[in-house]
Amino acid sequence: MRKQIAAANWKMNLTLAQGEQLLDEIIAAPHSLSNNQLAVFAVPFPYLTMAQQKLSGKQNVFVAAQNCYSKKSGAYTGEVSVEMLQSIGIQYVVLGHSERREYFNESNHFLAEKVNICLEYNITPIFCCGEPLHIREADTQNEFVGKQLEESLFHLSAGQITKVVIAYEPIWAIGTGKTASNEQAQEMHAFIRQQFAAKYGEAVANEISILYGGSVKANNASAIFAQPDVDGGLVGGASLIANDFTAIINALK
């Protein structure tokens, strides 16, 4: 059974004290995770150790970095390597978020290098893909997302690809208050799974968790997650509110 994942992306938000309080509130809230369900908290780099300590011993709860660099080490001032992340016990890294692609010009080929080094260090990439508004309006979103997958992931073996989590984020629905309809979300998730099936076979494709990342909220998570090819969400703004993210965790199927 595919993992169902509620992933919080704090982005560049919260002070240390605010982050500690948020995690304390979520930990204290009533929720439970079954064997196939995970909660992942992608916190800013300075808070990784704090989050690890807060969440230590919690079943099926993990901490993620929001990014990493493509090299093992070296003269790359300001960057963070997967070796560093592994050394403090981090098991997940968000890669290729639309904001990284747009503001920092991260290309599909550059992200392929990041995916490779994450897998080399047994860190699970949460690989983001998705189209901007003008692509959606031109009805070429399948070709756009298909190219992202092909150029960043299709060099991997079948054994490697099952260690990657996909997060589909329609860029036009991030932080805008707009949300893809349940039908639009399912349609794209099914397309993504079909791409993996064509490359690696149905059995492999059915092992890959595909998350939806576009204005997931407490009041829409259950309906989005109920779609057959949607395996949870990568959550931005709502992950900064304890009650809302708790509700999203509880909406996992």
pLDDT in tens, 164-188: 999 999 998 776 667 678 999 999 9
pLDDT in tens, 191-229: 999 999 999 999 999 999 999 998 899 999 999 999 999
| Range of the structural domain that residue 150 is part of | 4-250
For residue 162 the two structure tokens come to: 């099952």
Average pLDDT over the chain, rounded to an integer: 96
Catalytic residue among 99, 106, 131, 169: 169
Contact (Cβ atoms closer than 8 angstroms) between residue 232 and residue 252: yes
Flag whether pLDDT at 148 surpasses 90.
yes
pLDDT in tens, 46-104: 999 999 999 999 999 999 999 999 999 999 999 999 999 999 999 999 999 999 999 99
Does residue 38 surpass a pLDDT of 90? yes
pTM: 0.96
Instruction: Give the active site residue among 97, 99, 106, 189.
Output: 97
* HSE-up (13 A, CA, CB side) for residue 247: 14
User: 174-212 b/e with 16+ CB inside 10 Å = b?
Assistant: beeeebbebebbbbbbebbbebbeebbeeebbebbbbbb
Tell me if residue 97 is catalytic: yes
Best CA proximity match to 110, nearest among 96, 129, 90: 96
Catalytic residue check, 169:
yes
What CATH number is associated with residue 33? 3.20.20.70
CA 124 to CA 126: how far, in whole Å? 6
Domain count, the chain: 1
Query: What percent of the chain is predicted at pLDDT more than 70?
Result: 98
| 3-class secondary structure, 39 | strand
